Amino acid sequence: MSNVLAADDDTNKMLQMIFLPNYTTSKEYLYICSLDVNVQLILPGKQSCATQPLKFTMNGSLLLGSRDATNMRIDNLLGKDVVVLFGMTYYDHLQCDNNKRSPLVEKITNVILNDKIFGNVDPLLKDYFEQMPT
């Protein structure tokens, strides 16, 4: 994905994606303050995103993420000026047909996994997308 963004003349001057190997919270101070947009894609009720979104947001980052508990708390505290949330809440997820994906999520997943736009997909990421219910 990083290569696709870097090759796009419309966005490469404004948007860059990096991978931080061996991520640990003790290294956060080196890069948290440098983000413009923090993307937190969490499956509500399946994963936890701890305090990183709050740290990024407190340092001026915009939060783009799913409706998990942490992101919704930040949204309640800071409001729509810095937070954009999408998707189902944990309670919405419980009401839906388990493991049934929406047509939009199915289409996006197929593009990421099969169209090779972003290159070969890491097996762990592929497992994540295949298990994503909504």
In terms of domains, do 51 and 117 share one?
no
The pLDDT of residue 134 is above 60: no
Distance CA 84, CA 81 (A): 8
Please tell me the number of Cα atoms within 13 Å of 57 on its side-chain side: 25
Please tell me the number of Cα atoms within 13 Å of 86 on its side-chain side: 10
Domains held by the chain: number: 2
The residue range of the domain holding 18 is 2-95
Distance CA 70, CA 3 (A): 30
pLDDT of residue 65: 86
In terms of domains, do 103 and 128 share one?
yes
> pLDDT (tens digit, 9 = 90+) per residue, 102-114?
677 778 777 877 8
In terms of domains, do 134 and 113 share one?
yes
The pLDDT of residue 34 is above 70: no
Average pLDDT over residues 48-56: 72
| Phi, psi (degrees; rounded to nearest 5) at 113 | -80, -35
Distance CA 65, CA 71 (A): 7
> pLDDT (tens digit, 9 = 90+) per residue, 108-131?
777 877 877 777 777 777 777 776
pTM of the model: 0.49
